[in-house]
Structure 1
């Protein structure tokens, strides 16, 4: 196995990533080489989409029951992603037992039963459950097989003249199998295609994807790249040659900044409509490929057709919703027009379900769109969580690429509606959905916590993320925010949070951060006013600047952030929560505390006033009163701690114990304690509570509200 520069440089449309030295270290371990090859293929989205495709290898292994050598196939199991595949994600099956299943197969009506029977072929009892594609690999005789969904290949597979083009493009060395739902019978069709065309290097599946193979992991990898490269090269040679791409552009996009502002303003409105059944998380993209499609003359013809590849379709629904609005129309006017448009989409989806359903079909699912296209602006996608929404967008871009290529070389054809339904409401898919873990309490919720780069704010944001929410962390300290971003990325991944610099005294940064929330997730459901500072001085030393700073940050900041939050919540029309992190000092008089204590009292009453006003919007406003939360708090750095220690006649080091001793429970209060209190308000058990004050101070009798 050797590689020279000409091998590497001949690829222009895919990435050649094979490392000979790394592969050599796995020599003799075919499963390790399978994992290595799979990860390389999954690392290039031009080769296959996230979670899509599967790979396999066959090798001899010892049968634990007989001690004899037997052929075993390792194949990517149900679920998972090639780019991150590990051994634990593989299913391992006896090859001879799989072949014996042919003896009991009676026809298409038995397809689902055959998947269950694969469990009788399991070699490794700890392996992943076999996927529906298992026999597609098992019935082909090759040692290493790749089944991928590359846009370039599907563009040919989903074109009207796909079979003819495949024959001519590869001089008969790539076979063709017409569209058929994946399963046992399709595995038999693949083997039949091979038997009728001995010596072929792969098979194109109509409207679906590509099978390629080799005697070694490297040969399979190289063969896969070469076939996809040739497909991509052919498309490039033809795109725009016969006619303008997508029939040419019918409109121009707004400038970038204006597009994002427009999208941020509209996203919460769309999210509200898409969440009529279940709270959804959004994603927005104005990728150039999206804009080329949605601004084109062919949009109205192609968009209703839907996608072809089952992987694309399952994540993007039968077709997108296209918004027929100008890019300058007032958002309030659009909001009124959206109602009938969503009603029409839901009716279309209901009619599709009723026309295609079988006697044993699962109940109709959410009738709202997943993909929403806004010409001149971009694409919105909505799903149960951020990752699913983002991946739906990626899949629709795959579909755009497929339509673009297919239209360049022939004409695009999508799955027939009945075939699409049979995939979407497949009983095996339904069973997979039913096995999904129960959603966490805050799944589908978006929380914006001010001052969340450290201390109480960070603990609240972490707690909410742990309970299923996506969070928007922010701080006025950019360096501290960077540290928090690294921590959240490690804990929750890139899809779990967004981050922005926010100064609660500056309205432009507040608006920018709420726009970040809208573009990243679709809006906001929970606003936590946690940003703060403290100044402890005797009256005679307190300056006007001290006073103004305290009231600007604590009172005005709370007001401005709440005001921006409720604007978004009202657009969504789903209610929401505002939590104000105040202090026991709002209720207790103490020395050297005129500015801070009175500002906290103003915060407390502002929360009550907001609760009284916002009930009609089903926006609940509640307050948590901490005391002496010293851990990881900027408030307790420097002068404030020194001031409080001086006021009470103790040292700074003695403050935690001093505060604990004066409580009824003799407890030190930690940031996590405040986070738990916040979760209590928004976790689902107190949905009919508003205007409340919850003290988390270890028990300070003077702070009792009643």
Structure 2
């Protein structure tokens, strides 16, 4: 059987390259390499070029190293993502090097080598690029090469695969010593195209950016082709063959809707976390395999993979999925407690006198036979990226075990990477998280003016937002706009009819699948109607009750259930109306429904208090500009009821207020944020906040 054809890598575009200067070519090469996860993962690997530039002080030409800076991503970086350093100063550092046990101090010298006052911090990999004698260097983490690098017979197989054109070095933590050994090895083996680092990745080079790119890609393709031929020849079954069959999608989603909120709550450990679900074919092949348990226990090999995914994943037995309620919580709690104890024991075995304190001992990667993989982190992007890294690790394990035997990173080496003091310093430099990071906000009526404003306010403070609305076209437009501004990870749009119980349940289940649960509910879906009492039809009455009372109850009930399952409290915010406090002329159906919302919120507050679930009301009045309810017949009806023209409505409502000020969607959003932010309102529940510029009749009593 012939091996499956391999998808080609992105091609170098000579026409585009002809328009670029040398730094631009380095950036183009970097972005091209980072555009394919088979070459390197997000944030992984680095690129460099040694360029001649005029010294800003003397004007004389000097050699400058351009290298990806600390914490950057080659796929998405811009020019300001590169560190720039004088090569003569970097070479002079060799006289300061005091040996492996002191190599971390070399990082402190790198700022003294900065060219042109560049503020981008240089990474720990800088010496690996500066000490190699080539003009252009790539360090990538391709799955195919790491698979070879993580085999038990890695050195011999590297020689076989690349026919002696690529060297091999044993595992060593990135740093100055590894840079020295790379340079020494290269000098002793002239004519090499690259060097494989055991368990880690590939270094490759070229005289130009294009030559470097093509060399890197060609070496990766050689590794891919060799692995494919070997698998085919051996007729090897991936991961020892199939042990489980995947659940049908509907059964899988039902199980996850029960499982994920509980899992999210139990793993929070005092700080909210977000989940990312991956049910891709690669993941299902692994979690359903015979070798799942022994391979998962080995952990990953590449340090970039390991830093994102922890020492090993948690495997949840299939029997757990059938449990519900307290039985599910208790069993998941036991599994997580066992994992935390195992992690703490690993810390105690491996810690050094200078090691930072024990970090969060909860798993990052959770493997679910028959379902897929869940990754958990402080924010959605980090959870998603951790999952991408573990998919890379899965690919490595598949290829390595099919040909030879996969070897994970030794435990002590793994610990020394995870608790590296330089990594700890990087963590300590991270900015303080925004107040709503890790929180999930569900906003009904999310495509309307008030809903959009609330979503934007919550996103600004770090939350992830699910927009629920019945208007699919408007929903798609708002979701795209917010995703453009805040990132695709942070926003989801779900069509939901709040009057339909099945639709509401499906929306909350989908929220759990997307993020793991919900922390903050903003019930904002709305309509408006006006009619004298004698002209108020039963249909009009029911429509108001269905959307504004029953709809708020259904969404609130399902969110309440999910918050209770999480066990970490929650916040419910009902966007009611001044009309819930004081009746308006010819709006009996609307006023009665809004009054029901206020009383509903008090009921949520009463029953939610023992669970840490708060419920509060925001009462707007006359939010005309940007509000969808004023674009239909409501505007005409309210103008008629008040005997004014429609064009005078905003001025009418403004002038009747005590403060003589208009109320805008952003004002309602600010009030909603107040109730959502625990550092502002943790002790507020059962309250009403009027945002109406002052209406004496609506004062709360």
1:64 and 1:485 mapped to 2: Cα distance? 46
Quote the residue 1:500 is aligned against.
494
Confirm or deny that 1:292 pairs with 2:292.
Answer: no
Equivalent runs, 1:641-660 vs 2, <5 Å: 641-660=635-654
Q: How does 1:548-559 map to 2 (within 5 A)?
A: 548-559=542-553
Aligned to 2:162: 170
Deviations 1:401-439 (A, max 9, x none): 000011011101111111111111111111111111111
Give the unaligned 5+ runs of structure 2.
none
Question: Counterpart of 1:697?
Answer: 692
Say whether the 8 Å CA contact 1:624–1:678 is kept in structure 2.
Answer: yes
Question: Could you list the per-position Cα deviations for residues 320-366 of structure 1 after superposition, in whole angstroms to 9, with x for gaps in the alignment?
Answer: 00001337512333322111111110011111111111111111111
> Aligned partners of 1:264 and 1:396: how far apart in 2?
23
User: Could you tell me whether the CA contact under 8 Å between 1:273 and 1:572 is conserved in 2?
Assistant: yes
Asked if the contact 1:89/1:127 (under 8 Å) is kept, the reply is no
C-alpha separation in 2, matches of 1:264 and 1:235? 39
2:312 is the alignment partner of 1:308: no
Indicate the residue corresponding to 1:686 in structure 2.
Answer: 681
Q: What secondary structure, in the 3-state scheme, does the structure 1 residue paired with 2:260 have?
A: helix
* Alpha-carbon distance between aligned partners in 2 of 1:330 and 1:366, rounded to the nearest angstrom: 27
Give the C-alpha shift of residue 242 in structure 1: 5.3
Q: CA deviation at 1:383?
A: 0.3
Match of 1:455 among 449, 452, 456: 449
Residue matched to 2:112: 120
Q: State the distance in 2 between where 1:278 and 1:441 align.
A: 11
1:413-466 deviation per Cα after TM superposition (whole angstroms, max 9, x unaligned): 111111111111111111111111111111111000100112111111110011
Residue deviations 1:280-301 (CA, integer Å, cap 9, x gap): 0110011111111111110111
2:494 and 2:451 map into 1 onto residues whose CA distance is: 14
Q: Aligned ranges for residues 419-498 of structure 1 at < 5 Å? A: 419-498=413-492
In structure 2, the partner of 1:368 is 362
* Cα distance in 2 between the residues matched to 1:355 and 1:63: 50
Determine which of 572, 587, 601 is the counterpart of 1:607. Answer: 601
What is residue 224 of structure 2 aligned with on the other side? 232
Q: Distance in 2 between matches of 1:82 and 1:260?
A: 35
With over 3 angstroms needed to count, the CA separation of the structure-2 counterparts of 1:360 and 1:14, relative to structure 1, is: farther
Partner of 1:59: 51
SS at match of 2:318: coil
Deviation at 1:59, TM superposition (A): 1.6
Match of 1:134 in 2: 126
Question: Which residue is 1:5 aligned to?
Answer: none
Q: Which moved more, 1:560-569 or 1:484-493?
A: 484-493
User: What does the per-residue CA deviation read over 1:109-138, in whole Å, with 9 as the maximum and x for residues that have no partner?
Assistant: 221110110111111212411100001000
Residue in 1 aligned with 2:518?
A: 524
1:565 maps to which of 529, 542, 559: 559
Distance 1:614 1:334 in 2: 21
**Aligned with 2:574: secondary structure?**
strand
In structure 1, C-alpha distance between the alignment counterparts of 2:488 and 2:583, rounded to whole Å: 44
Equivalent position of 2:620 in the other structure: 626
Once the two structures are superposed, residues 202-250 of structure 1 have per-residue CA deviations (whole angstroms, 9 ceiling, x without a partner) of 0000100000000011110110011000111111122362532101011
Shift of 1:277: 3.1
The alignment partner of 1:56 has SS state of strand
Q: For the residues of structure 1 that align with 2:152 and 2:461, how far apart are their CA atoms?
A: 48
TM-score by length of 1: 0.97
User: Using the alignment, how far apart are the partners of 2:409 and 2:581 within structure 1?
Assistant: 66
Aligned equivalent of 1:72: 64
The TM-score, its normalising length taken from structure 2, stands at 0.98
Counterpart selection for 1:324 from 317, 323, 332: 317
RMSD: 1.3
1:7 corresponds in structure 2 to none
**What corresponds to 2:211 in structure 1?**
219
Equivalent residue, structure 2, for 1:103: 95
What SS class does the counterpart of residue 239 from structure 1 fall into? helix
How far does residue 11 in structure 1 lie from its aligned partner after superposition? 9.2
Gaps (5+ residues) in structure 1? 1-9
TM-superposed deviation, 1:63: 2.1
- Give the C-alpha shift of residue 256 in structure 1: 2.2
Say how many residue pairs are matched: 695
CA distance in structure 2 between the aligned counterparts of 1:21 and 1:704, rounded to whole angstroms: 69
Give the one of 241, 262, 273 matched to 1:269.
Answer: 262
Within the candidate set 120, 123, 147, 1:155 is matched to 147
Question: What is the alpha-carbon distance in structure 1 between the residues aligned to residue 178 and residue 105 of structure 2?
Answer: 15
- Secondary structure at 1:569 match in 2: helix
- Give SS of 2:322's match: coil
Deviation at 1:66, TM superposition (A): 3.2
CA distance in 1, matches of 2:269, 2:355: 23
Q: Counterparts of 1:239 and 1:677 in 2: how far apart (Å)?
A: 61
Written as runs of structure 1 = structure 2, the 5 A alignment for 1:378-393 is 378-393=372-387
Distance 1:14 1:140 in 2: 29
3-state DSSP of counterpart to 1:70: strand
**Equivalent pair of 1:13/1:229 in contact (CA under 8 Å):** no
- Show the counterpart of 2:180: 188
Contact kept in structure 2, 1:76 and 1:89, CA below 8 Å: yes
Match of 1:676 in 2: 670
Shift of residue 150, structure 1, vs aligned partner = 0.4
- Listed one character per residue, the Cα deviations across residues 528-549 of structure 1 (whole Å, up to 9, x for unaligned) are 1100101111112211100000
Task: Report SS of the residue matched to 1:100.
Answer: helix
